[in-house]
Amino acid sequence: MTQLRPVGARRGGGPREPRRCRWCQRPLGARDGPGRPREYCRQSCRQRDYEARHRAAERGLDEGEIIVTRARLDGLQDRLWVLACAIEDVEGDLARSAELDDYRQALGWLLDAARPLVAELEVGPGTT
């Protein structure tokens, strides 16, 4: 287990910023009708946030600190590393040649590197 203080967590925000899910930070659509504003984009995010806060409370962590497994954090960092390498490759490639085909290839390469991170979001940055 690893204690993790979220970096640059965008919570609350200014009045002009769209509200975001408390768990995955996905922007929340405007709620129509009365009632409390939504805090989560879906039920699984509500559940994960609840579990994370429960564990944090058990261990006496501050609000804003969560616990994630080492495996989960390593997986996320691996995918970020792949994306960072892709960015570097693409910048180098486009510095050498920037024809339309080069941009097409670069975009494909970047998307391939970025998709696993988005897939992570679909599952939710949980703790299992």
Residues that bind Zn ion (CB under 5 A): 21, 23-24, 26, 41, 45
Measured from the CB atom, is 43 or 60 closer to Zn ion? 43
Distance of closest approach, residue 90 Cβ to Zn ion, in angstroms: 29
Query: What is the three-class DSSP state of 27?
Result: strand
Measured from the CB atom, is 29 or 108 closer to Zn ion? 29
Q: Give the tokens for residue 66.
A: 């969560």
Range 110-119 contact pairs with CB under 8 angstroms and sequence separation of 24 or more? 110/83, 110/86, 112/86, 113/82, 113/83, 113/85, 113/86, 113/87, 114/83, 114/86, 116/79, 116/82, 117/76, 117/79, 117/80, 117/83
Measured from the CB atom, is 19 or 55 closer to Zn ion? 19
Radius of gyration of the chain (CA): 18
Measured from the CB atom, is 49 or 106 closer to Zn ion? 49
Q: Name residue, tokens 């939504």.
A: 38
